[in-house]
A and B are shown apart, each in its own frame.
Chain A
């Protein structure tokens, strides 16, 4: 199959070096456990797929670290090998694999799309569109492109499908949001003159920026998800895999710490304690603080290494 071959050729240069590093016994064990032969995969293809996944994530280690055999084994055993083999067999055009995929994932895919879009019609459209792409109807440079080739077994195949659907829905929404008519939007009233002195406002801006930059990733995520995205505690808890009471407690603590930090920064700027507390009464619309930018300051650094070539 062409897509598989193209992916294989992309990692071709790295594979020989890694192939010797992975124990043959581990590969044998994974080969037997994955039932790849049942889906028509050859052993060489299977080894190549594993090596590709390993090099993609560097076996879950930081970039440049040399994995030990135990770390390799732990990484591979953490993969959803059955789903990975099925996805690659579908991408390779194995009919039996497709039948199995349809029987197993077709209806859940539609239900997920309906849940994501909130509409049965839109959900079916979204699911059908993704399904067509999965089947390889899209071509690039004369070759069929199957999104299943980008799945490498980290997390379940169904979770990957749901996240892909959600990505497409969010991207579609964000693209089309600007096209929404403005007739129903009331014209904003003219801003009244700020009651807080400009000097205090600028001082408050700086104090807030400094306080937010000092928060760790989880606290910033909590603050952003709760105050910016207006997600519920339950939604945030599901994403983080914790109880919503834990989210509530962490959120409360993050808010209190941020407030303390802002107060401290204001006091450091020369305001009295009382004046600093009164500064919190300023109208937020008078502030020149871009919370999005403040909370986004590190994302490019975190994922720039995962950028596609």
Chain B
């Protein structure tokens, strides 16, 4: 059979292709099928064409389309997985931030605890003075005792030293300390531990919540308060140098109701307030040596109020704490070196280290009468101390030095330091 004859009797390629692609009508399909039933050649043609089509489909499926198929098939599954992963990452980051913040707060608490540890021991010798007729200076009350957990706005109805908080209450120190910081720099005389202990008895949850949730806000408030306080301190420091400030029977001879401007005997509220400011100025707090971001911030905040007047120490380092009594000044630079000046800061000389650790804070401490708790050195150095009942004189004043471990040393003249045992 010739090729021409084959073409005459075989359906052409288009019909066979249409038959294989199922696009023919019933009648045409039946005709083609009739032909295929008896034509081996066309059956082979159709079978080979279908095999080639199948190979083409397989080639498309396997070679170039594979990546798309992979992405398509996994794309829908990856979407929720990605969403879950993103949620997990966010949750983990939030959790870590909270944990970090909690750890930071815990560090601050610990730091505050360390700082406050000596103070309760300080309260012990002063307890008799509490029972005695009021002899404590109103100027003593605000700053040092507030650090033991005094809450702000608490009425001042007792000596500072009674504010020695139990260790469990000391856990409230950070918040109270921050609040105290903002409040104390406002120049107000703060209350004692009576009210403070009540407020500091808040539950740990409240404390955490208030500390963590309002952490950022408080930082801003603290910064603003620090700036305002510094300005006020400048103003108060100028007033402090006014005559009659240290006159006996004046502002320093108030009755025992210290801190309340109205209760001083023969002393106006303004003078007592000035004395409180004076106390604050003379006993600048020491920056913490650790404590994370919060402590860094606090260190920065303190650095602005280290001293109302610039003090140039021989070391050339910035001063972190300074206290003075009359012409005598004691300062600590940020290397922990202690300097003494006998001429109101005109000249400085380093003090031989007689303490352990690193000195971080120096402040003036006025001792009440009787002087049972006064250190021997202080007694020796101040033989002519004021003996008036309830009166506080210059001889009753000692310098108190704290190291970075919360230990305390006392000195009357700044050269010889005696450890204050708890």
Residues in A lying within 8 Å of B, measured CB to CB? 57, 60-62, 78, 108, 111-116, 150-152, 154-156, 158-160, 162-167, 169-171, 174, 217-218, 220-221, 223-225, 228-229, 231, 235, 238-239, 241, 292, 295-300, 302-304, 306-308
Contact = CB atoms under 8 A, between A and B. Distances in A.
Contacts of A299: 9, 34-35, 37-39
A225 B45 CA distance: 12
B14 interface: yes
Nearest to B39: A299
A212 B180 CA distance: 111
Interface of B: 3, 6-18, 20-25, 27-28, 30-41, 43-56, 59
Nearest to A173: B44
Given A167-B45, A228-B40, A303-B10, 4 more contacts: A115-B54, A156-B17, A298-B34, A303-B9
Nearest to B6: A171
A45 B27 CA distance: 30
B53 A162 contact: yes
A182 B116 CA distance: 113
Given A115-B51, A229-B44, A235-B47, A217 B17 contact: no
A238 B12 contact: no
A160 B13 contact: yes
B47 A302 contact: no
Nearest to B48: A166
Contact of A306 (B12, B40, B50): B12
A221 B36 contact: yes
Contact of B59 (A62, A111, A170, A307): A111
A217 B39 contact: no
Nearest to B30: A217
A112 B52 contact: yes
DSSP class of B's interface residues: helix, strand, loop or mixed? helix
A296 B38 contact: yes
14 contacts: A154-B23, A155-B20, A159-B17, A163-B46, A171-B41, A217-B37, A221-B36, A231-B47, A238-B51, A239-B46, A296-B38, A296-B39, A298-B38, A306-B11
A218 B36 CA distance: 9
B9 A304 contact: yes
A164 B45 CA distance: 8
A156 B10 CA distance: 20
A235 B50 contact: yes
B184 to A, nearest CB: 84
The 5 closest A-B pairs by CB, nearest first: A296-B38, A220-B37, A155-B18, A115-B55, A166-B48
Contacts of B46: 163, 166, 239
Contacts of A62: 27
A108 B49 CA distance: 12
A221 B18 contact: no
Contact of A163 (B7, B36, B39, B45): B45
Contacts of A238: 50-51, 54
A224 B20 contact: no
Contact of A221 (B24, B37, B45, B51): B37
Contacts of A298: 34-35, 37-38
A304 B9 CA distance: 6
Contact of B13 (A60, A108, A163, A300): A163
Contacts of B48: 116, 166, 169-170
Contacts of A220: 37-38
A190 B6 CA distance: 36
Given A154-B15, A155-B18, A170 B37 contact: no
A43 B205 CA distance: 86
A166 B49 CA distance: 6
B34 A116 contact: no
Nearest to A159: B17
Contacts of A111: 52, 55-56, 59
B42 to A, nearest CB: 8
Contacts of B7: 307-308
A171 to B, nearest CB: 7
B33 A229 contact: no
Contacts of A115: 51-52, 54-56
B5 to A, nearest CB: 9
Given A60-B25, A299-B34, A112 B12 contact: no
B250 to A, nearest CB: 106
B43 A225 contact: yes
B40 A292 contact: yes
Nearest to A156: B21
A235 B53 CA distance: 12
B20 to A, nearest CB: 6
Given A171-B3, A239-B20, A303-B31, A308 B13 contact: no
B189 to A, nearest CB: 92
B11 A303 contact: yes
Given A60-B25, A164-B13, A224 B55 contact: no
B61 to A, nearest CB: 13
Contact of B15 (A239, A306, A308): A306
Contacts of B49: 116, 159, 162-163, 165-166
A163 B32 CA distance: 14
A108 B48 CA distance: 15
Contacts of A114: 55
Nearest to B46: A239
Contacts of A239: 20, 46-47, 50
B8 A217 contact: no
Contacts of B10: 303
